Amino acid sequence: MGTVKQALIALGGNLGTVRDTFIQARKQLDKLPDIELLDSSLLYQTSPVGVAGQPDYLNAVIRVQCCLSANRLLDILLGLERRFGRVRPAPRWSARTLDLDLLDMEGILLDTPKLILPHPRMHERLFVLRPLCDIAPEWIHPRLGLTAQSLHDALLERGEPPITEGMQW
């Protein structure tokens, strides 16, 4: 049994009944013996990035506690994506039923072909930072030394359109 760590996981999707998929994915993660759900953000509707002509996304962030390695947790997340119909590889930014991104695991710095921690683009994505601020506004990006809230606010100051209020899920 490894050391207990907290992890932040982003959820995204825009195909099928996304809200229901998120609820089921969250329940399935919480049922696993080595993972405990600690917190969930609100659910936010956002415009797609990179590819026009696809449905809006729903986005959220959850915090879990586990005694797994980052790579083992990633394997579980990828397996869950497959169970909900996610096909990889797929064209970048294509529509998907469920996307689970491991954002951070207690500040661990990783840079391998399989996994980069913290997530390499999370600080550029309002659709990640907005829900992250719901549950961990004081979280500090381990490479940049800035809080989730300050990263969020910096994107707004640069002219990113704010994300409308979220909903319960």
Decide if 20 is catalytic. Answer: no
Spatial CA neighbour of 40 closest among 151, 157, 131: 131
Decide if 96 is catalytic. Answer: yes
Which of 26, 86, 125, 130 is the catalytic position?
A: 86
Q: Please check whether residue 11 is in contact with residue 61, taking contact to mean a CB–CB distance below 8 angstroms.
A: yes
Decide if 111 is catalytic. Answer: no
Residue owning tokens 């579980």: 76
CA R_g for the chain: 15
Q: Helix (H, G, I), strand (E, B), or coil: what is residue 90?
A: coil
Residues 24 and 52: their CA atoms lie apart, in Å, by 28
Residue owning tokens 């999370």: 122
Which of 34, 39, 75, 99 is the catalytic position?
A: 99
Which of 63, 96, 125, 130 is the catalytic position?
A: 96
Which of 26, 101, 104, 125 is the catalytic position?
A: 101
Four-CA torsion 109, 138, 101, 31, nearest 10 degrees: 110
Decide if 86 is catalytic. Answer: yes
Q: Which residues are catalytic?
A: 86, 96, 99, 101
